[in-house]
Structure 1
Amino acid sequence: MAGSSKQNTDRAIDIRQLRVLRGPNYYAYEPCIHMVVDIGALEELPTDQLPGFTEQLLAALPGLADHQCSRGRDGGFVERLNEGTWAGHVTEHVALELQRTAGHEITRGKTRSTGETGVYNVIFAYLDETVGTLAGKLAVRLVNHLIQPTADPEFDFEAEHEAFLLTSQRVAFGPSTQAILEEAISRDIPWQRLNSASLVQLGHGVHAKRIRATMTSVTSSLAVDIASDKELTNRLLLAAGLPVPQSEVVRSVDGAVAAAGRIGYPVVVKPLDGNHGRGVAINLADADAVRAAYPEADRQSRRGNVIVESFITGRDYRCLVIGGNIVAIAERVPAHVIGDGTHTVEQLVELTNADPRRGVGHEKVLTRIEIDERAIELVAAQGFSMDSVPPAGEMVKLALTGNMSTGGISIDRTFEAHPDNIDIAEEAARVVGLDIAGIDFLCPDITQPVRETGGGICEVNAAPGFRMHTHPTVGEPQYVAKPVVDLLFPPGSSSRIPIIAVTGTNGKTTTSRMIAHIFKSLGRKVGMTSTDGVVIDDRLVIRADASGPRSARMVLQNPRVDLAVFEVARGGILREGLGYSRNDVAVVLNVAPDHLGLRGIDTIEQLAKVKQVVVEAVPRSGAAVLNADDELVASMRRACSGEVVWFSIQPNNRRIADHCRRGGKAVILEPSELGDLIVLVHGRRRMPLAYTHLLPATFNGKAMFNVQNTMAAAAAAYVVGAPLHDIRAGLRSFTPSYYQAPGRMNLTEVNGTKVIVDYCHNAPGMAALGDFVDKFFDEGTGFERPQKVGVIATAGDRRDDDMRDLGREAAKHFDVMIVREDANLRGRKPGETADLIVEGAQSAGADGRVKELEVVLNEIDATRAAVRRANPGDLVVLCVDRARDVWDELQTIGQVAQAGASSEDSES
């Protein structure tokens, strides 16, 4: 097949890549699965040329008939199938439909060519990344099987689909967690799943709260312990004057029988610290019944304690108390069937379980009824067997307790309870100390006061389930998640922290550090990510390249952070998306050729589209700070939903003049007799910030790239709300020292030689750095022109032409070039990268000034060679990979030289 990297001659789809994109990304505004698929010979076989394919596909997944596709109407996708569409497009729709069969109602997807014949980008949304990933893989297997059954003869779609659904149910949130999340999402509260279970963070940074099912960050651990100890709970409630059954704690069968005798039959036997009704036996009328019930209660008790309490007759009610107030009441009816005079008890159970609302565990609104020995015994106690046919209308109980987890049903009684009963339930939650409590009432009628009719509180539950309230079998659902979110985020409170995202080809790290420094000076607890690592409140907590989405999520999880500054790299966006939903400010510095030819990004226009993702993630209330001097960056203004703030070093920029005339904001550079002045313009207001030569990062205004970075940082700080005098103070106190900005224009002196350590690694960056090198020495410093020595390198995953361009550009600015290589060659052979840079330097011709060219592959050896080559008064520029190692080596060289000089002085 022409253009393909492999000859895929069979009719099969091959998944080349599959990745989960979390947050806005290159392909979509929202999280999605990205698959790169090679359809091989199917490129020549659209679906209209595959006999029987459409019919078999619709038989396997009938829901596909509802897909609208690009037609915008139900059945549009089927029309495309009949007209002829390609296997990649089919895979997209199958993946969406598989997720829909798991209860994930999503419709967003698209399939686009990669530019390589037969290879496609298949993009589809997901709600849970595990489910989305499995759906993509199963979709490919199903399409392959329908097209070529012999390729995988053991493939059984029904079995595979069932396994997929079971996995989906296992990883899904329970109904209680899901209800809280849906409420949070409706309020635009961000969330992150912190484990594979139900631990979830709501909000960002200093505003973050956590939930685990219906336990929250404000739930008292002591209150949970009290609620787990039923005997202690009863004692506290009794001391508060609340109606509770008489009870005793026992540790043996004989002790249980003795306690039942003292309390008086009938009694209830249950584990002291159990849950979900497990091990509970009620209405035990004699010692034999107690002896029979005790072993199961003991088995379900975590600490071996069993409670015996008086049996209260009546109906079972669950009162849900949140924040001290009753928000829902449900009557729980034990698992049962109703006779119809035709079917046996066993058949009635099967018919009841056929209700689509019933599932395994908590996956659906009702739980399947399980027949075990206790259920059979209970049926027998009512005068039936499992093969008996109960009379029409007669109820046959299959469980004694009304828990939903054992197959019970719920009836909403929220607005029927007597005020006295409401007061009792609310007081019980306060006595135990729970913010969210499930109060179990047993009484004849919740509409009558229990103090008069008899009954009382039989249990207080921490982390009560919401399912019986949000999805009652009978009655209106109650929106119980609302008061939970109100408890965590009272009206008017914040859930988000300001996020500033900085991207561009060059200058990202320096600009990010400048912004963080300004807000640190304001007393903010700043979380910052960059290629240097993760910094929390000015402390480096992780030393690594942290310019990706995982590091961003780490910052947003930190409970100290009240403002985030993220360096956003191209690789992270393509690999995983932004990792968060939106940023309040997007800063785009520049777009230049770098990293091209990687991950399908082959042109500078495509690279600009990648970096534009941060601009697309700006909300209406946010802003994009854009370089007006870079046309690729300037064009991103159309993708911004918020306001645009320009910065420019070019005088009389017409775009900025028109923008500010309409009330817009910009940061400009104005020449004056005293030097270049950075001015912030807001409509007609002109606010001077600082002269460039007074800012340490600009090296007396000579480092124009840092002038641009400074202007971008000032603009970002201004739109977030930093006062002007604090912006000025922050910029004046920010220095490009190794300790404040390691590897970014760090200036030191070694043996009388000026040495600059910088991370420059591409031709556009070298052009900017070279302009600074050319200006470094003031005119008239002496009759001898100082020598300029450069150590040059780049990463091995750049294109050959990019490496040659770097060498050619460096040759224009340095007298001596020493070419080295990174420790990680990124797939290149030793010396290959260096040879390409040398080749570029040698091609500079008349434009070049380099007179000496040397290759020293090891970075530390190259550093030593450069310092040896230089004389006092010269300039050495080290383009580094491992800034820390190079800096340490420079200090060592300086200390050794100083020690030698001291030794000579003492001898003389």
Structure 2
Amino acid sequence: MPIWPSRPVGTGTTRPPPPRRCAVEPAAPDSGAPPTFPLREGLTTISTNSPTPPADAHLKVLQTRVYRGPNVWSYDQAVHLVVDLGALEAFPTDTLPGFTDRLIELLPRIEEHTCSRGHRGGFVERMREGTWLGHVAEHVALELQQEAGHDLRRGKTREDKNRPGVYNVIFGFYDERVGLAAGELAVRLVNELVHPTADFDFDAERERFLRLAARTAFGPSTAAIIEEAVSRDIPWTRLNQHSLVQLGQGVHAQRIRATMTSNTSALAVDIAGDKHLTGNLLGSAGLPVPKAETVRTADDAVAAARRIGYPVVVKPLDGNHGRGVILDLKSDDEVREAFPLAEEQSRRGVVQVESFITGKDYRCLIIGGRMAAIAERVPAHVVGDGEHTVAELVEITNADPRRGVGHEKVLTRITVDDAAIELVREQGYAMDDVPATGDMVKLALTGNMSTGGISVDRTFDAHPDNVEIAEEAAQLIGLDIAGIDFICPDITAPVRETGGAICEVNAAPGFRMHTHPTVGEPQFIAKPVVDLLFPPGSPSRVPIVAVTGTNGKTTTSRMLAHIMKGLGRKVGMTSTDGIVIDERLVIRADASGPRSARMVLQNPRVDFAVMEVARGGILREGLGYDRNDIAVVTNIQTDHLGMRGIDTLEQLADVKSVVVEAVPRDGFAVLNADDRLVRAMRRRCRGTIVWFSMEPPGSPVRDFIEERCRRGARAVVLEPSDRGEMIVLKQGRRSMPLAWTHLLPSTFGGAARMNVANALAAAGAAFAAGAPLHDIRQGLRTFDTTYYLSPGRLNRVEVNHAEVFVDYCHNPPGMRMLGDFVESYVKARQGAAEHRISRIGMVGAAGDRRDDDIRELGAIAAHHFDVLVLREDANLRRRAPGESAKLLEEGVRAAMADGARCRQVVTVLDELDATRHSVRIANPGDLVMLCVDQHAAVLAELESFTHQAAAGARTDEDCPGDPDLDPQQLTSEAAESSAAEDGELREVLDSQEG
């Protein structure tokens, strides 16, 4: 997938390109040639004598991708469709008769789209002038989501520069499933408008799409809370396909499910679910409640009703939404008839009989112990007009666009069942009777919104005594969010004087009667809920540091995590080795993608996040979160080129710069000033830049940094002196010494220059995160490249008195830096060595790299090692066994022919076999560099060498010392090498030792 398009085709509200017109260009009048469509290279010219597209021409979706965070196309989450227009590339919209008018007829609101013109109707203008059908699919997908209630306006369409007729269609989404369905239906509709078919019913398809959107949408209560959270910049994540949502990140995270929160007591919910127990608790506190008894049989219900006194109410003990509640029962027979209806809705089979309280139905919403809203609930009903029957009036009422099925809209459609028909009959009507004008006909006895009732806002009408009673009831039950159901003649008068009672206390009360009252002003009740979870001034986000680059990002991430751990932070880290929570590896996998980032942010222990961000994850799904407080870019070098449309370093830099673009205005970007492509990313950053550089004073790069520091910028640089190099933090004109590079364990006395650069980057990120200088200094001084702190990154082990290093180096720039380390390290040790130090390197290359990159890796290694052992990864990545090793060998031998240091090449494909061979050919004091794929297995194998030698369990055959002096002692693992090569290797090492 190319990143850079050859031209813009269409856009929503982001980065509008200039309008592009595609129209018929007639030939010169005197040429006699028919006019043709202007087509790009590789497409057949189509004459206007055939003004309609071929019958088999249609949009084809080649690939679908979902970005769940900032990505190369958008700052927000988006759906990406790669569509192939095929022959339709020759037919822009102005060449398709009636196309635009038919689209407007089906989707009238598409005339509101501004597109790049910036005014209403801009997109229709583009269609009439001529635009490509991929652009049309983008706008149709956005409009379909608009019809589903998702206010989305961002999108763009870009042509694939390498594949004529192939377009990248990108548009935003709120719900992933709805966004994907919108894209699919949009492509189908465009194809239908080009070639109409008899079996495509757009109205039916749209209805199916809207039902999907309704099923996946949050209910009114959850949506209100999320909307309030978004307005406060509180991040949220949907944890299932329903209403379970996490607000906030890491240690600050809170969860809600509808109107139940992380603070809702399970005990309080159980109490509220037991209506009999609730009544007893409230009654014992002196609050007005009806008389009530629980029963299990119809006979017991009749007996209880007689004791309480008629009229009574029969309802399930643990029901909800008013289901199974039968009111105003005045005889034994009515109680017997009502009992099975209530019992059916009771989960435990227990029914409550209570005294019937006359009056209006009020719902008092209590949040955090305080009254937030009051609504009067009016049962489902119709009002006669003297013309229509009751059944017709129900249909007219249900036609209100505000009414839907269940909780999908602010009102619920009225359902006419046997109970409703019986209730209408009791009021003196049949369903086909015509009520007089103004007559109210009830279709339900309870005022629940879920049964078709309506609500009237009474928040500011309630008497203070009634408010106090409701608040006390919520506190007695222990609910943080409670719905107190009052039955009383008038909420404006004290219920203790006028009569009335609390008939129920509800956990997880619905909000829509308050947020969308049928009559009255809506109440913004989500605010106190979010205040309850996140009191004003409390944080909701954990600091996120995103580390990216070609090389060094894993070590930099580990250094930074180690520094912050020293401050007492619980660090969650993603890397190519897995997910680490507070220095504990919880998942062992390549976890440098967006899904791993989301897992870290959902962990309730994490209060600081360090994310290693790889190129593949950005291209596949985006970042996985909305922004990072600090972005670190180590370098941009040749690796992964030729994959996913990334062919140049500039394109790779464009991908990596996504983390810089995700920095907010109060954030920081820690950039490598020595890399021109990283240095250029400063133009993409809205926050503050922190530079780091390995260049000495007086160099152009240092002059660049010094000039900016004089204007208040921050930087981490090296200051050379007679005593060595000092890492210095600079802020404005201040210079703060941090640490000597040669005293940092990870640098091996300053020889590992790549870790010096990583230390600069980590120090800059920690400084930006607010870490004190002492803690940064201490973190760098105590970070070592042991297997426990930095597995697979320059781990040193001594095996048979030879120094063995294990590293993950796998690309040419990394090998160049590793070779520089070998040169410096051997030079520092050679003076104290009794013999010449031989260098043995084990090298492998990932099979998905370009052939030339693999050859270059081998050529670079040949300049730094005397002996090279070539291996292959376990995952060959679609290459044949031995193919990668052969390419490596070609690069090595080409370098050897040009005079490179290497004198011997051995191919041992299996990594562990190659490890054993590399160690066994080493003499005491030699240096063995193992560039590995599976570092854990290799380290375990090296440990077995060490343990066996320490136990004296190895024989001369097991531990031959220098098997190259005796070819007969070569182990079976290295049998692939020829006797001639072994003899040559013996001569090479002998001459070096001499």
- TM-score category, normalised to shorter length: over 0.9
2:106 to 60, 85, 94: 60
Distance in 2 (CA, whole Å) between partners of 1:801 and 1:406 is: 70
2:176 to 129, 154, 157: 129
Mapping of residues 444-455 of structure 1, within 5 Å: 444-455=489-500
Distance in 2 (CA, whole Å) between partners of 1:808 and 1:65 is: 61
| Deviation at residue 304 of structure 1 after TM alignment | 0.5
Distance in 2 (CA, whole Å) between partners of 1:598 and 1:138 is: 30
Distance in 2 (CA, whole Å) between partners of 1:263 and 1:22 is: 59
- The equivalent of 2:708 in structure 1 is 659
Q: Any idea what the Cα deviations from partners look like across 1:45-75, whole Å, max 9, x if unmatched? A: 1111122222222222122111111111111
Mapping of residues 749-828 of structure 1, within 5 Å: 749-777=798-826, 778=828, 779-782=830-833, 784-828=835-879
Larger CA deviation: 788-797 vs 405-414: 788-797
Q: Which amino acid aligns with 1:731?
A: L
- The equivalent of 1:409 in structure 2 is 454
Contact residue 34 and residue 124 of structure 1 kept, 8 A: yes
Q: Any idea what the Cα deviations from partners look like across 1:435-482, whole Å, max 9, x if unmatched? A: 100000000000000001000100000000000000000000000000
- The equivalent of 1:158 in structure 2 is 203
2:229 to 184, 191, 213: 184
Report the 3-state secondary structure (helix = DSSP H, G, I; strand = E; otherwise coil) of the residue aligned with 1:55. helix
Report the 3-state secondary structure (helix = DSSP H, G, I; strand = E; otherwise coil) of the residue aligned with 1:843. helix
Residues 1:617 and 1:475: Cα distance change in structure 2 (over 3 Å): same
Q: Any idea what the Cα deviations from partners look like across 1:297-330, whole Å, max 9, x if unmatched? A: 1111011111010000000000000011101000
Distance in 2 (CA, whole Å) between partners of 1:447 and 1:345 is: 33
Is 1:834 aligned to 2:885, yes or no?
A: yes
Distance in 1 (CA, whole Å) between partners of 2:652 and 2:598 is: 24
Distance in 2 (CA, whole Å) between partners of 1:855 and 1:139 is: 54
Is 1:79 aligned to 2:125, yes or no?
A: yes
Report the 3-state secondary structure (helix = DSSP H, G, I; strand = E; otherwise coil) of the residue aligned with 1:277. coil
Distance in 2 (CA, whole Å) between partners of 1:602 and 1:91 is: 28
Is 1:495 aligned to 2:544, yes or no?
A: no
Contact residue 629 and residue 664 of structure 2 kept, 8 A: yes
Is 1:578 aligned to 2:626, yes or no?
A: no
Contact residue 114 and residue 600 of structure 1 kept, 8 A: no
Contact residue 821 and residue 833 of structure 1 kept, 8 A: yes
- The equivalent of 2:158 in structure 1 is 112
- The equivalent of 2:365 in structure 1 is 320
Residues 1:370 and 1:674: Cα distance change in structure 2 (over 3 Å): same
Is 1:521 aligned to 2:572, yes or no?
A: no
Gapped regions of structure 1 (runs ≥ 5): none
| Deviation at residue 671 of structure 1 after TM alignment | 0.8
Mapping of residues 29-40 of structure 1, within 5 Å: 29-40=75-86
| Deviation at residue 893 of structure 1 after TM alignment | 2.1
Q: Which amino acid aligns with 1:843?
A: A
Distance in 2 (CA, whole Å) between partners of 1:847 and 1:252 is: 100
Is 1:147 aligned to 2:199, yes or no?
A: no
Q: Any idea what the Cα deviations from partners look like across 1:185-230, whole Å, max 9, x if unmatched? A: 0001111111111011111111111101000011111000000000
Residues 1:902 and 1:405: Cα distance change in structure 2 (over 3 Å): closer
Contact residue 10 and residue 40 of structure 1 kept, 8 A: no
Mapping of residues 262-341 of structure 1, within 5 Å: 262-341=307-386
Distance in 2 (CA, whole Å) between partners of 1:18 and 1:809 is: 39
| Deviation at residue 846 of structure 1 after TM alignment | 2.4
Q: Any idea what the Cα deviations from partners look like across 1:611-639, whole Å, max 9, x if unmatched? A: 11111111111100000000100111111
Distance in 2 (CA, whole Å) between partners of 1:101 and 1:392 is: 36
Q: Which amino acid aligns with 1:868?
A: R
- The equivalent of 2:768 in structure 1 is 719
Mapping of residues 632-647 of structure 1, within 5 Å: 632-647=677-692
| Deviation at residue 842 of structure 1 after TM alignment | 2.1
Distance in 2 (CA, whole Å) between partners of 1:787 and 1:139 is: 66
Is 1:734 aligned to 2:780, yes or no?
A: no
- The equivalent of 1:685 in structure 2 is 734
Mapping of residues 343-382 of structure 1, within 5 Å: 343-382=388-427
| Deviation at residue 802 of structure 1 after TM alignment | 1.4
Larger CA deviation: 793-802 vs 296-305: 793-802
Q: Any idea what the Cα deviations from partners look like across 1:762-817, whole Å, max 9, x if unmatched? A: 00111111111111112534574311111111211111221122112111111111
Report the 3-state secondary structure (helix = DSSP H, G, I; strand = E; otherwise coil) of the residue aligned with 1:755. strand
Contact residue 9 and residue 40 of structure 1 kept, 8 A: no
Q: Which amino acid aligns with 1:812?
A: H
- The equivalent of 1:675 in structure 2 is 724
Residues 1:847 and 1:204: Cα distance change in structure 2 (over 3 Å): farther
Distance in 2 (CA, whole Å) between partners of 1:622 and 1:279 is: 56
Contact residue 575 and residue 592 of structure 2 kept, 8 A: yes
Q: Which amino acid aligns with 1:92?
A: E
Report the 3-state secondary structure (helix = DSSP H, G, I; strand = E; otherwise coil) of the residue aligned with 2:632. strand
Contact residue 9 and residue 41 of structure 1 kept, 8 A: no
Equivalent pairs counted in the alignment come to 900
The alignment's TM-score, normalised by the length of structure 2, stands at 0.89
Q: Which amino acid aligns with 1:76?
A: G
- The equivalent of 1:441 in structure 2 is 486
- The equivalent of 2:743 in structure 1 is 694
Q: Which amino acid aligns with 2:70?
A: P
Report the 3-state secondary structure (helix = DSSP H, G, I; strand = E; otherwise coil) of the residue aligned with 2:422. helix
Q: Which amino acid aligns with 2:134?
A: G
| Deviation at residue 891 of structure 1 after TM alignment | 1.1
- The equivalent of 2:752 in structure 1 is 703
The alignment's TM-score, normalised by the length of structure 1, stands at 0.98
- The equivalent of 2:517 in structure 1 is 472
Larger CA deviation: 173-182 vs 289-298: 289-298
| Deviation at residue 901 of structure 1 after TM alignment | 6.8
- The equivalent of 2:241 in structure 1 is 196
1:18 to 64, 67, 81: 64
Contact residue 274 and residue 300 of structure 1 kept, 8 A: yes
Distance in 1 (CA, whole Å) between partners of 2:953 and 2:295 is: 86
Q: Any idea what the Cα deviations from partners look like across 1:120-156, whole Å, max 9, x if unmatched? A: 1111001111110111111111111221235xx5332
| Deviation at residue 90 of structure 1 after TM alignment | 0.8
Q: Which amino acid aligns with 1:528?
A: M
Residues 1:721 and 1:135: Cα distance change in structure 2 (over 3 Å): same
Q: Any idea what the Cα deviations from partners look like across 1:24-64, whole Å, max 9, x if unmatched? A: 11111111111111111111111111222222222221221
Q: Which amino acid aligns with 1:66?
A: E
Contact residue 93 and residue 127 of structure 2 kept, 8 A: yes
- The equivalent of 2:642 in structure 1 is 597
Report the 3-state secondary structure (helix = DSSP H, G, I; strand = E; otherwise coil) of the residue aligned with 1:677. strand
- The equivalent of 2:935 in structure 1 is 883
- The equivalent of 1:50 in structure 2 is 96
| Deviation at residue 602 of structure 1 after TM alignment | 1.8
Distance in 2 (CA, whole Å) between partners of 1:156 and 1:823 is: 52
Is 1:848 aligned to 2:900, yes or no?
A: yes
Residues 1:847 and 1:498: Cα distance change in structure 2 (over 3 Å): farther
Identity %: 68
Report the 3-state secondary structure (helix = DSSP H, G, I; strand = E; otherwise coil) of the residue aligned with 1:671. strand
Distance in 1 (CA, whole Å) between partners of 2:651 and 2:534 is: 41
Q: Any idea what the Cα deviations from partners look like across 1:638-664, whole Å, max 9, x if unmatched? A: 111110000001012111101110111
Q: Which amino acid aligns with 2:173?
A: Y
| Deviation at residue 372 of structure 1 after TM alignment | 0.6
Q: Which amino acid aligns with 1:541?
A: V
Report the 3-state secondary structure (helix = DSSP H, G, I; strand = E; otherwise coil) of the residue aligned with 1:676. strand
| Deviation at residue 2 of structure 1 after TM alignment | 6.6
